[in-house]
Structures are given as C-alpha cells and as structure tokens.
Amino acid sequence: MKEMGGRHILALCVLKESYKFFADLLDCIKALNRNSDRSIPMTVDFIRLKSYCNDQSTGDMKVIGGDDLSTFTGKNVLTVEDIIDTGKTTQTLLSLAKQRNPKMVKVASVLVKRTPQSVGYRPDFVGFEIPDKFVVGYALDYNKYFRDLNRVCVISETGKATYKA
C-alpha cells in the first residue's frame, strides 16, 4: 500500500489465470484499507491475454476486453498476474499500458518461474518463486483444464497427454 503511493488505485486483473489471486489480494487490500485512517479509493478492471497452447508460449499475445486502456491515464495501476514465466507477456502488456501515461504501473504476481527462457523481467511484488515446471490450479490452466484445482500443482505427463490441444 505504501509503494502504491496512497492515491486512487486501478487494480487490473489479467484474466483468466489471475482471478483467484486477484480476489484474494483485493480482500487483503480492502482489509488494510478498513483498518487505516485514510482509505484509498480503488477501482477494478479486467482484461484477457492469450498466448499459450499446450505448455508452450506461442509468442503472439492478444489483449481482449477491459475498458479502453485510456482509463489508465494519471492512475496508479496495479496489474495483477498469476505467473511470470518468460516475462514477455508482462513486458508487452507494460509497454501497451505505458503508452496511456498512467501515473505509475506496478505488477504483482503470485508466482515467478525460474526459467532460462526468462527475459530477466522481475515484477514489483512476488508471492513465490517456483522451479521451471508447468503448474496448474488456483485458476492456472493447461488448455483450459485444471483451473478448478484449489492448489497449485505441477502437471503430470498423464495430465498433459489427456488434455493436449
């Protein structure tokens, strides 16, 4: 909350993967807000990004939905992500967001993968660092499956073969 600058926060949920973390994180922010003497107004927005087929990034990122990115102008934007893998998706999203002159853009990600394919990008706020494995659950999917698992799990070879695109 200190780093977000004490101004209007626009919390941006990057669907579909981050909806669980987004809801949990916003519950925490709301609780902090309730217990502080100066509560910070917050609005929310949702966008979708798609770049994965099977367990591979296609490298071709699409942004779908959300308000016009011009709502970022002058705001403190908190982008909420599920996982930073190569970091390419987040970098592309950040460059799109910055074109709209927000006051600041910070990124919170529940997971960061230690992978040699990383472009070296680190988010501002990190939940957990994980090994270079494909994980599912807590809203992370493999070809749309396994989002409904309550916990983050490494996908098995059987799981991959069963739901291969």
Amino acid residing at 125: F
Residues in the chain: 165
Q: H helices within the chain, ranges in order?
A: 19-34, 88-98, 157-162
Question: What is the distance between the terminal CA atoms of the chain, rounded to a whole angstrom?
Answer: 41
Looking at 3-11, 115-123, 135-143, 156-164, which segment touches Mg ion (CB under 5 A)? Answer: 135-143
* Per CB under 6 A, 4 contacts ligand HPA: no
103-113 CB burial, b ≥16 within 10 A, e <16: eebbbbbbbbb
Indicate whether 82 belongs to the interface with Mg ion (CB under 5 A): no
Q: Looking at 84, 141, 152, 155, which residue binds Mg ion (CB under 5 A)?
A: 141
Number of residues that bind ligand HPA (CB under 6 A): 7
By CB under 6 A, is residue 83 in contact with ligand HPA?
yes
Catalytic residue positions? 85
Which residues are at the interface with ligand HPA (CB under 6 A)? Answer: 52, 83, 85, 134-136, 140
Which residues are at the interface with Mg ion (CB under 5 A)? Answer: 52, 141
